[in-house]
Structure 1
Amino acid sequence: MTDATHNLSSPRNTGTRTYRLPIWSDANWIVRIALLIGLILIVTALAAPWVAPFDPNAQSLISRLRPPIGFERYKDGFYFGTDELGRDIFSRCIYGLRLTFALALAGAVIGLLIGGTLGLMAGIIGGVFEEVIMGLVDAQIAIPFTLIALLILAVMGSSLDVMILVLGVYGWEQYTRIVRGEVKKLIQMPFVEAARAAGATPLRIAVRHILPNVVSPIVVQFTLNFSNIVILESTLSFLGLGVQPPTATLGSMVGIGRDYLPTAPWIVLAPAMVILLLTFAVQILGDWLRDKADVRLRSR
């Protein structure tokens, strides 16, 4: 009777379940910090029109070069200070984050689609097609991409569409080399040979048996490429070839603020810190997603 009463009162018989969020519960403290930073940055970028206290392009020369909060001559409401034209740096960082994130994401996705598709096709088809693709990869690697970007921007201009094209072309050869190498290795594995013997089409073999095994290196390369694209956009904006003023990107803010670094360092430090946080979150989350997406690690 006592055992029956104990069993009836046991929590396992109450019908209640304890739910948990796998992304949060399975992550260590560094990944959790990166996840929180990433969520804050994304939400802030998406809600820029409601979060930013001022128009990012509104000028007030009487308020130019005001320091951030906590310093003398701080002006109420301008938490990160103002730039050389009296524009609110906090508002410009928020809008710049949204545009920089969109450009980097679009460029990384385009590079992944181009490079991943060519690498997959080169590894499966082989022959002359593979030689041509790898020849293009070698040519791309041999030429510094900055020169290619400068040439494209000089010929086609510095519009937003051209910037997306330039950033999308960046890094495709790395995807191609990685995916092609993984495919050449996997295509000799017994499970692929068995699928081929069973009559599976090349498309089914690629989607069903090869792609799940190349997700891990692709995720790593995507995070690296994303961070590098942020730096590339900053470099091009630093040279005056990125998105043109008065539109704010994090890179252009750093480039413009370099002339005022000795007297007004906050103009550079604020957007540079946002770039640092963004790349940190992407890198840490990318490594964590790599481990989660690797079917070889899950099978152990």
Structure 2
Amino acid sequence: MVQLADPIMRLSKRKANQTNFIQKTAIAIAILLFASAFFAPLIVPFDPLDQSLLSRLRPPLGFERFAVGHWAGTDELGRDVLSRALHGMRLTLSLAFAGAVIGLLIGGTLGLIAGLRQGWAEDAIMSLVDMQIAIPFTLVALLILSLMGSSLTVLVMVLGIAGWEQYARIVRAEVRRLSALPFIEAAWTAGAGPIYIAWRHVLPNLISPLVVQFTLALSNIVILESTLSFLGLGVQPPQPSLGSMVGLGRDYMPTAPWIVLVPAALIMALTFSVQILGDWLRDRADVRLRDR
């Protein structure tokens, strides 16, 4: 039995080490991408809107016809791809953060109400949650942007309502679980109101699951924004975003694939690293998983 247990333990330890390596690598990539987006105006070599038709469709470093300074090449208008990609990632992350915060506020508030106020209020809120889950939100986003236009304000609001139902479900479930604990029942018995109980006893216990959900939702919103911009209903030219760069450059894939590959690689790296970061935060927040 001991001889059988040793290989299993070594295999489990090896898998744990591989998982830790992947998590650390993803976290390092996420930090690098966030820092690059935050400091993009300071580190980009060119203005992302400057055009130079004499330098159009120049390949990246290492290829013939490489233009000095344009390390990732230029696009169809001679604009620096690296500068546009970093500024586009900055705008994409800004929109994603704004949308995630709005979704957190809407979903957290409704989930708190549903958890504390049972009855018709809970039924109405959970019916809205079920509707949101049942309808593909990308189609809803396309409809809203088609009717109301593609301004940044409308886009942020669309991204904000993209995942509020997940926050509402998490908060409602946690509130219902906490409401059955003795200290909450004692607060009700002592005459505390719902606002005091929510602020003093419930919200501090919701921080961990909400932070995890915020991180996971961020990558989903990045993908949604990139999809809308790719379809021409998100960020409008000449302002760069990762999705719009992929959409505008797809016609040049046979002759200048770097126009698409650079922003597409950033989208993949960003969503992958943020998802792994969310999984790591979930493992750290769950006491049962953390103690293994």
TM-score relative to the length of structure 2? 0.86
Aligned to 1:19: none
- Tell me which amino acid in the other structure corresponds to 1:290: R
- Tell me which amino acid in the other structure corresponds to 1:209: H
Aligned to 1:150: 142
Aligned to 1:271: 263
Tell whether the 8 Å contact from 1:215 to 1:293 is kept in structure 2 after alignment: no
Aligned to 2:232: 240
Aligned to 1:260: 252
Q: What are structure 1's unaligned runs of at least 5 residues?
A: 1-26
Of 166, 188, 203, the residue aligned with 1:174 is 166
The alpha-carbon deviation at position 298 of structure 1 amounts to: 8.0
Aligned to 2:204: 212
Of 230, 253, 272, the residue aligned with 1:280 is 272
- Tell me which amino acid in the other structure corresponds to 2:143: L
Aligned to 1:164: 156
Quick check: 237-246 or 175-184, which moved more?
175-184
- Tell me which amino acid in the other structure corresponds to 2:255: T
Q: Within 2, Cα distance between the matches of 1:299 and 1:32?
A: 19
Task: Flag the structure with larger Rg.
Answer: 1
Tell whether the 8 Å contact from 2:223 to 2:271 is kept in structure 1 after alignment: no
Tell whether the 8 Å contact from 2:40 to 2:90 is kept in structure 1 after alignment: yes
Aligned to 2:16: none
Tell whether the 8 Å contact from 1:212 to 1:295 is kept in structure 2 after alignment: no
Of 87, 94, 105, the residue aligned with 2:97 is 105
Tell whether the 8 Å contact from 2:58 to 2:66 is kept in structure 1 after alignment: yes
CA deviation digits over 1:123-175, x for unaligned, max 9?
A: 10111111111122222222221222122112221111111111111111121
Pairwise CA RMSD of aligned residues? 2.2
The alpha-carbon deviation at position 294 of structure 1 amounts to: 4.9
Of 69, 74, 79, the residue aligned with 2:66 is 74
Q: Within 2, Cα distance between the matches of 1:54 and 1:110?
A: 33
Aligned to 1:221: 213
Quick check: 248-257 or 277-286, which moved more?
277-286
Aligned to 2:26: 34
The alpha-carbon deviation at position 221 of structure 1 amounts to: 2.1
Aligned to 2:132: 140
The alpha-carbon deviation at position 179 of structure 1 amounts to: 1.4
Q: Identity over the aligned pairs, expressed in percent?
A: 68
TM-score relative to the length of structure 1? 0.84
CA deviation digits over 1:75-133, x for unaligned, max 9?
A: 11111111111111000011101100100000001001100110011110111111111
Of 63, 76, 89, the residue aligned with 1:84 is 76
1:168-207 matches, within 5 Å, as 168-207=160-199
Quick check: 269-278 or 107-116, which moved more?
269-278
- Tell me which amino acid in the other structure corresponds to 2:69: G
